[in-house]
Amino acid sequence: MKDILTAPFMVEMIRTATNMYAHGWDERNGGNISLLLDKDAVSAYLDTETVLRTIPTGFSAPELAGRYFLVTGTGKYFKNVQYAPEVNLGLVRIATDGEHAELLWGFADGGNFTSEFPAHMMSHVERLKVDPNNRVVMHCHPANLLAMTYVHDLDEIKFTRTLWQMCTECIVVFPDGVNVLPWMLCGTNEIGVATAEKMRTARLVVWAQHGIYGAGKDLDETFGLIETAEKAAEIYMKIAHLQLVNTITDEQMHLLEQRFGVKAREGYLN
């Protein structure tokens, strides 16, 4: 067996977690990542028949039975992932009953996956229906997006349009817009269900006064989605108290649609 720490998916996971911490998105143990893996990729590095222990997931997702996930641990600091990945990360397979996860590697200190694992799995289920190539669900606490939820209308069309108007690339990067949830108690199945429902129509879901969920085909795409939205929110927070003299018009956004071959979410542009 090859050393799993050299696996491309492991290297990228460690780099991404480290970069998210460096961006200030994941203070302390804030935030979590789950990465869907193919069995062939895993079996090159692990004996998939050896189960270290079985962990109840606290939800039922028979659609994901037999699927493999690399996931961050509960209570684990993102800054430590690069130094002790075998403690701060775990590789699990969803059991045949859809209600347990079989630990194949990691959580070496007896730890467990993130408390928001149910929310991740629910979002994976919905995103896979929309895009079979979806592989990542990522949650973090970017400061400007978080600040924006205190001062901006949480209406999804208004929130999305403001972000699109802050930076030319926004409508190109997330033409499906941003969905928004009002404040809800985190770590519960209720917020997981609500987030998964929002994931049906957008890859970005803002949790008001908390953070953001992103989904994508790989870690780079998902990181880039959040990074772009956060940059737009930063610009908004810098100018929100000022009188606007210029903006990106709907006509200009339609030109961006044509130039880059994207389609803005129906009803979001005039």
**Average pLDDT for residues 166-177, to the nearest whole number?**
98
Helix (H), strand (E) at residue 138: strand 136-140
What's residue 58's pLDDT?
A: 87
Each residue's pLDDT tens digit, 41-64: 999 999 999 999 999 998 899 999
Q: Which residues of 138-158 are buried (b: 16+ CB within 10 A; e: fewer)?
A: bbbbbbbbbbbbeebeeebee
Indicate which residues carry an active-site annotation. 116
Q: Are residues 92 and 149 in the same domain?
A: no
Q: How many residues would you count in the chain?
A: 270
- Assess whether pLDDT exceeds 80 at residue 30: yes
Q: Are residues 24 and 129 in the same domain?
A: no
The mean predicted confidence, pLDDT, of the chain is 96
Q: How many Å apart are CA 209 and CA 137, to the nearest integer?
A: 19
Q: Are residues 94 and 197 in the same domain?
A: no
Domain boundary among 115, 137, 162: 115
Domain boundary among 88, 115, 142: 115
Domain boundary among 97, 115, 133: 115
- Assess whether pLDDT exceeds 80 at residue 1: no
Q: Are residues 249 and 160 in the same domain?
A: yes
Q: Are residues 268 and 192 in the same domain?
A: yes
CATH classification at residue 105: 3.40.225.10
Each residue's pLDDT tens digit, 100-152: 999 999 999 999 999 899 999 999 999 999 999 999 999 999 999 999 999 99
**Average pLDDT for residues 167-192, to the nearest whole number?**
95
Residue 131, Cβ neighbours under 10 Å: how many? 12
Each residue's pLDDT tens digit, 86-110: 999 999 999 999 999 999 999 999 9
Domain that holds residue 235: 116-270
Task: Provide the number of structural domains found in the chain.
Answer: 2
What's residue 119's pLDDT?
A: 92
